[in-house]
Amino acid sequence: MTLPGSLIAAGAQAPAKSSVWRLEFIETVRLAVPMALTQLGQVAMMTTDLALIGRIGDEAVAAAALTHTVFFSVFVLGLGLVSAVAPLAAQAYGARQPRLVRRSLRVGLWVAVATGIPATAALLIGGEPLLLATGQSATTAALAGHYLDGLAWSLLPSWCFIALRSFMGAVNRPEPALWITLAAIPANGALAYALIHGAFGLPSLGLLGAGLATTLVAIGMCIAVAWVASARRPFRKYRVFGRFWRADWPLGARLVKIGAPISGAIALEFGMFGAAALLMGRIGTTALAAHQIALQVASIMFMVPLGISLAATVRVGQAVGRCDSRAARRAGFAAIVLGGAFMATMTLLVALTRHDIPHFFLGSDTSAAETARLVASLLVLGASFFIFDGIQTVANGALRGRNDTRVPLLFAALSFWAIGFPFCYGFGFPAGLGPTGVWIGLTIGLVVYASLLVWRFHALTRGRKPLIP
């Protein structure tokens, strides 16, 4: 029996199409795993700090929550700018333009320095007064100020580390950043413990010590990754610090054009979460501490989709550099599927262990039983929150690979501030649902944002539209 030619062609194309998607998933996972582990390593250091601070008491945890709110509201301003190194360098790598790869990193480092110096000064001068102006108690604001005095200095080296890490990922070699981060985890834990509690002959500095430990480790990580990027294969062929002082205004302007909306979108999202923390502070210390712990758990899970998002930026960006529109679409949707599947699995695991998780942060202190119960409730409530948070960050990464950052900024404003925060306040206070109502509002905002971003990527990549808007 002879099959019609059309059926033979269809049968021949199906396996080929399946194998292409399988290869895309494999390549995305290969790139995403070290990136995700790097992110997990960084959040592990934050989690260790929070666990050590939790032994001091609920007031210290609440102060740490407020400190992180202030610190990251400034941190995200430079984060988006240095994150733009990834799509620019990935597109240059895909187009086989090694000099442009180096230039992309160089302008990212320059922007980090130019932004980091005034931002650090602003944190040191204005952190505690800002908290007092928002109605926080004088005691909690003073504790947060001590923590910020040590933490603020980590801003610049952290941004430089991200720029260098983005360069490594863009050339398909993200592993060194992972090894450096893994080495930093025990160093951070030991140093934080010593400076908080006065061990190993060091002074007991409490929250100030926790901040100083983070800064010292961040400086060490930055020095290590800079050395690897300049001296080790395969990076040294790019001569990343060659002609470092040479101005590159056109590319710098392009980086800012791409990165500023990223910063804006992250700031709007973080701003909603920061505002939610302030709402929790108005409800009470227990609500704020529970909110911070539940968000820390969410942050741990979020790091894997964030790693997948970084891989999506690289994979989509490299396809854009090769002018391969089908590969760009395939890379984005493969990453979105991976991110959603991971978060669904982790959400189930968190729901099953929700009563055990709070004790990692609070110990066995019976006075914190109410905080532990509230944490468990928020973790169950966060099921949709977690899944859509993972989807939105991966979709954002895919769009950044195409340099599409301005429309996502508008989506962030709509989702988080026109929809999400009004629901946080409305459910939390007028509706009388308290902490539960605040988290319902957060979930609604994330659902809307994730849906809009996935639609945007689909709309941009169907057919044969221009790869770079």
CA distances from 140 to 2, 53, 68, 199, 445 (A): 81, 14, 13, 25, 29
Per-residue pLDDT band for 244 (boundaries 50, 70, 90) equals confident
Residue 5 belongs to some domain of the structure: no
pLDDT at 9: 43
Residue predicted with more confidence, 354 or 333? 333
What is the reported pLDDT for 290? 87
Q: Is residue 466 part of a domain?
A: no
The answer to whether residue 17 is domain-embedded is: no
Query: What's the predicted TM-score (pTM) here?
Result: 0.86
Residue 14 has pLDDT above 50, yes or no: no
Nearest 5°: the CA angle 219, 222, 223 is 90
What was the pLDDT predicted at 131?
Answer: 84
Q: Which residue has the tokens 């500023």?
A: 260
Q: Give 417 or 68, the one with higher predicted confidence.
A: 417
For residue range 285-324, what is the model confidence (pLDDT) as tens digits? 888 888 888 887 888 888 889 999 999 999 999 999 999 9
Domain carrying residue 229: 22-461
Q: What is the pLDDT of residue 171?
A: 94
- CA dist 321 to 52, 257, 259, 464, Å? 46, 18, 18, 15
For residue 201, pLDDT beyond 60: yes
Distance CA 318, CA 326 (A): 12
* Residue 366 clears pLDDT 60, i.e. is over it: no
- The answer to whether residue 468 sits within a structural domain is no
Q: Is residue 232 part of a domain?
A: yes
Gap between the terminal Cα atoms of the chain: 51
Judge whether 453 lies within some domain. Answer: yes
Check whether 1 has a pLDDT greater than 50. Answer: no
Burial class (CB in 10 A: 0-12, 13-18, 19+), 232: exposed
The answer to the question of residue 15 being in a domain is: no
Neighbours of 50 (CB within 10 A): 22
71-110 pLDDT, tens digit per residue, is 988 898 899 999 999 999 999 999 999 999 999 999 999 9
Residue indicated by tokens 């500095």:
205
Quote the CA–CA distance of 349 and 377 in Å, as a whole number.
15
Q: Is residue 221 very low, low, confident or very high in pLDDT (cuts 50, 70, 90)?
A: very high
How high does pLDDT run on average in the chain?
Answer: 88
Q: For residue 122, what are its two tokens?
A: 């602003």
C-alpha span between 129 and 147 (Å, rounded)? 14
Task: Note the pLDDT of residue 367.
Answer: 58
Query: Lowest-confidence range among 140-149, 192-201, 362-371?
Result: 362-371
465: confidence class by pLDDT, cuts 50, 70, 90:
low
Say what the pLDDT of residue 61 is: 81
Under 8 Å between Cβ of 464 and 298: no
Which pLDDT score is estimated for 7?
39
| 109-121 tens-digit pLDDT | 999 999 999 999 9
Q: Which residue has the higher pLDDT, 155 or 360?
A: 155
Buried b / exposed e over 448-462, threshold 16 CB at 10 Å, is bbbbbbbebbeebbe
What pLDDT is attached to residue 18?
72
**d(C-alpha 146, C-alpha 206), whole Å:** 9
- Residue 393 is which amino acid? T
- Rounded to an integer, the average pLDDT of 384-413 is 95
Q: Which of 152-166, 231-245, 258-272, 352-366 has the lowest mean pLDDT?
A: 352-366
Give the pLDDT band of residue 464 (cuts 50, 70, 90).
low
- Within-domain flag for 365: yes
Q: What's the 3-state SS for the chain?
A: CCCCHHHHHHHHHHHHHHHHHHHHHHHHHHHHHHHHHHHHHHHHHHHHHHHHHHCCCHHHHHHHHHHHHHHHHHHHHHHHHHHCHHHHHHHHHHCCCHHHHHHHHHHHHHHHHHHHHHHHHHHHHHHHHHHHHCCCCHHHHHHHHHHHHHHHHHHHHHHHHHHHHHHHHHCCCCHHHHHHHHHHHHHHHHHHHHHHHCCCCCCCCCHHHHHHHHHHHHHHHHHHHHHHHHHCCCCHHHCCCCCCCCCCHHHHHHHHHHHHHHHHHHHHHHHHHHHHHHHHHHHCHHHHHHHHHHHHHHHHHHHHHHHHHHHHHHHHHHHHHCCCHHHHHHHHHHHHHHHHHHHHHHHHHHHHCCCCHHHHHHCCCHHHHHHHHHHHHHHHHCHHHHHHHHHHHHHHHHHHCCCCCHHHHHHHHHHHHHHHHHHHHHHHCCCCCCHHHHHHHHHHHHHHHHHHHHHHHHHHHCCCCCCCC
Residues 193-208, mean pLDDT to the nearest whole number: 87
Q: How far apart are CA 243 and CA 240, in angstroms?
A: 9
Report the domain count for the chain: 1
Residue 54 pLDDT more than 50?
Answer: yes
Q: What is the mean pLDDT of residues 164-188?
A: 95
pLDDT value of residue 2: 43
- Tell the residue number behind the tokens 């790019």, with chain if given: 238
| pLDDT for 467 | 56
Q: What's the pLDDT band for 127 if we cut at 50, 70, 90?
A: confident
* Dist. CA 293–CA 298, nearest whole Å: 9
